[in-house]
Amino acid sequence: MFIKSPTILPMLGTENTPAVPHWDLDSGSESITFRTAMRRFIGGVTVITTRHENRPWGMTVSAFAPACMDPPTLIVCVNRNTITAANITADARFAVNVLSQEQVNISQHCSRAGSDKFIEDFEIPKDELPDRIKMPVLRDSLVTFDCKVNCEFLVKSHLVLIASVDSILAPAAKLPLLYGDGQYMHGVSVDQVLSEGALA
């Protein structure tokens, strides 16, 4: 099926500011245009971990953000037809693992549609974690939020989860893994940002 590409329309510029093109959302398929536009957003990579058949399970997600600082609360969106969504609905718990640049293979493993996403090879053994941590934790993550679902509701194809953060694991600073425009990117460490900021 042929899908018309977004139309590039000129935007008036000034003598000192060159004209900048923009997309007309009404051209072609709106969902395709929106998806293409959202690819320009560069963000961190996260894997939601749950348990499936009493085994650790993970799924890469992009829709994740803080919802409230006090009390600590997160918002996550997952496709309603996934095993991850069913796991969360059944257990009312999940963990958000923010990935480091060492975890590209984990992100790829957990993002393959239609394949098993068991993560025994990537998780920290449970006996090495504090007792308060309930969900699987991925080795080499920047930070992991262990969460309990407060409420959930459907928005079209996705399950929206509002969850309280029960525990946080933040190991030694690593370089963050970023994703945008269809490719993985590397960032800088928090320590480096703080160091350069202090010197500015």
> Which one has a higher pLDDT value, 33 or 190?
33
User: Is the separation of the CB atoms in 25 and 34 below 8 Å?
Assistant: yes
* pLDDT tens digits, 81-119: 999 999 999 999 999 999 999 999 999 999 998 899 999
The answer to whether residue 82 is domain-embedded is: yes
The answer to whether residue 138 is domain-embedded is: yes
The answer to whether residue 9 is domain-embedded is: no
Instruction: Determine the average pLDDT of the residues in 183-189.
Output: 73
Domains in the chain, number: 1
CA distances from 52 to 40, 61, 75, 78, 137 (A): 33, 17, 21, 16, 14
pLDDT of 189 strictly over 90: no
Domain that holds residue 149: 43-175
The identity of residue 171, as a single letter, is P
> Which one has a higher pLDDT value, 16 or 42?
42
pLDDT of 25 strictly over 60: no
pLDDT of 9 strictly over 80: no
Model's pTM, two decimal places?
Answer: 0.77
Instruction: Determine the average pLDDT of the residues in 129-152.
Output: 96
pLDDT of 11 strictly over 50: no
The answer to whether residue 85 is domain-embedded is: yes
Number of residues that this document lists for the chain: 200
Task: CATH number of the domain at 151, please.
Answer: 2.30.110.10
